[in-house]
C-alpha cells in the first residue's frame, strides 16, 4: 500500500503507517500526488482515497467483485455523498 501525503501536519502519516503503508511526501497538486502513487504501486488495482473521503465497510470488496465479474470494466467510480 502506498500513501501519498502533501506534508500535512495532521496524523495522516502516522495512521497510514499503522496500516503498513509506504508513505511518500509530495508537494504539488492532487493529480501529481496520484501520479506518484500509481508509479510506486505494485498491485493489480489502484484505489484513490482522499483524506476527506469515508469508505463504507465493504466498498473495496464490492469493487473487486464487480471487476472480477466483468472483464470489460476498466474502472469504477465510487460515488461520494
- Euclidean distance between the first and final Cα of the chain, in Å? 25
Supply 23's cell numbers: 508513505
Every domain of the chain and the residues it spans: 1-43, 44-81
Of all helices (H) and strands (E), which one includes residue 51?
A: none
Strand ranges inside the chain, DSSP E: 2-5, 22-25
Say what the pLDDT of residue 23 is.
92
| Separation in Å, CA 28 to CA 3, 5, 34 | 15, 10, 10
Say what the pLDDT of residue 71 is.
79
Predicted confidence (pLDDT) per residue in 1-44, tens digit: 899 988 877 788 899 899 999 999 999 888 998 999 999 999 88
Question: What is the rounded distance in angstroms from the CA atom of residue 12 to the CA atom of residue 21?
Answer: 11
Kindly report the pTM of this predicted structure.
0.72
Say what the pLDDT of residue 61 is.
93
Amino acid at each position: 500500500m502506498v500513501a501519498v501525503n502533501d506534508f500535512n501536519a495532521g496524523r495522516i502519516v502516522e495512521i497510514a503507517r499503522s496500516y503498513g503503508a509506504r508513505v511518500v511526501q509530495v508537494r504539488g497538486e492532487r493529480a501529481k500526488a496520484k501520479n506518484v502513487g500509481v508509479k510506486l504501486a505494485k498491485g493489480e488495482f489502484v484505489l484513490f482515497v482522499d483524506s476527506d473521503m469515508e469508505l463504507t465497510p465493504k466498498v473495496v470488496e464490492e469493487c473487486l467483485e464487480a471487476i472480477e465479474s466483468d472483464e470489460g470494466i476498466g474502472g469504477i467510480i465510487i460515488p461520494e455523498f
